[in-house]
Amino acid sequence: MKIIELQEQNNLFKKALQVFWKQWGNEHNYKFYEDAMIHSCTTKSDIPRFYVAVEEGNIIGTYALIRNDLNSRQDLCPWLACLYVDEQHRGKEIGYKLLQHAQKETAKKGYENLYLSTDLEGYYEKYGWSNRGVVYGVSGDYIKLYEKGTGVNK
pLDDT tens column, 35-93: 999 999 999 999 999 999 999 999 999 999 999 988 999 999 999 999 999 999 999 99
Q: How far is CA 17 from the centre of its chain?
A: 14
User: How high is the pLDDT of residue 100?
Assistant: 97
8 Å CB contact between 38 and 87: no
Encoded amino acid at 7, one letter: Q
For residue 154, pLDDT over 80 is answered with no
User: How high is the pLDDT of residue 92?
Assistant: 94
> Hey, which residues does 59 pair with through a beta bridge?
54
Q: Residue 91 class from Cβ within 10 Å (0-12 exposed, 13-18 middle, 19+ buried)?
A: exposed
Question: What are the Cα distances from residue 35, in Å, to 28, 38, 41, 51, 63?
Answer: 13, 5, 10, 16, 17
User: How high is the pLDDT of residue 13?
Assistant: 94
Task: Report d(CA 38, CA 80) in Å as an integer.
Answer: 18
Global pTM reads 0.94
Average pLDDT over residues 131-135: 96
* Average pLDDT score, the chain: 95
Average pLDDT over residues 117-145: 95
Q: In what order do the strands lie in the sheet with 113-118?
A: 2-5, 49-55, 58-66, 79-85, 113-118, 142-149, 130-136
Tell me the percentage of the chain whose pLDDT exceeds 70. 99
Question: What are the Cα distances from residue 19, in Å, to 55, 84, 105, 109?
Answer: 14, 9, 21, 25
Tell me the percentage of the chain whose pLDDT exceeds 90. 91
User: How high is the pLDDT of residue 12?
Assistant: 92
User: How high is the pLDDT of residue 70?
Assistant: 87
